[in-house]
Amino acid sequence: MREFGVDDARGSLLVPFLGVMLATTMLQAIVYGLTSDERWAARHGSASAAVQRGWLTYFGVIVALAVGTSVVVATIAFTAQRYFESRAGVS
């Protein structure tokens, strides 16, 4: 969007796609962070090694939640703005 400006049609379509991908990634990070130790060990084959979560894991979940929420709100705002501008005939 820097090269072609905010009125570029490709950029207007790719920004919501980027927002959805980032929000999905943050949701996956939250799911990974909140997976129980037993389920994590069973899924990833580390049954012999004790899997321990510390405060860093929960901090990562909080950061993923904050970033994901911000991305979703920004994507909705950008998409709504472009939609209403197109309905009003403003370029």
Cβ neighbors of 67 (< 8 A, separation 6 or more) are 22, 26
Give pLDDT tens digits for 11-38. Answer: 778 888 999 999 999 999 999 999 887 8
Torsions phi, psi of 52, nearest 5?
Answer: -125, 135
Q: Note the pTM of the prediction, 2 decimals.
A: 0.75
Give pLDDT tens digits for 32-82. Answer: 999 887 887 788 776 555 666 788 989 999 999 999 999 999 999 998 988
What is the DSSP code (8-state) at residue 4?
A: T
Task: Report how far apart, in Å, the C-alpha atoms of 8 and of each of 1, 3, 5, 13 are.
Answer: 7, 9, 6, 9
Q: Which two tokens stand for residue 36?
A: 């129980």
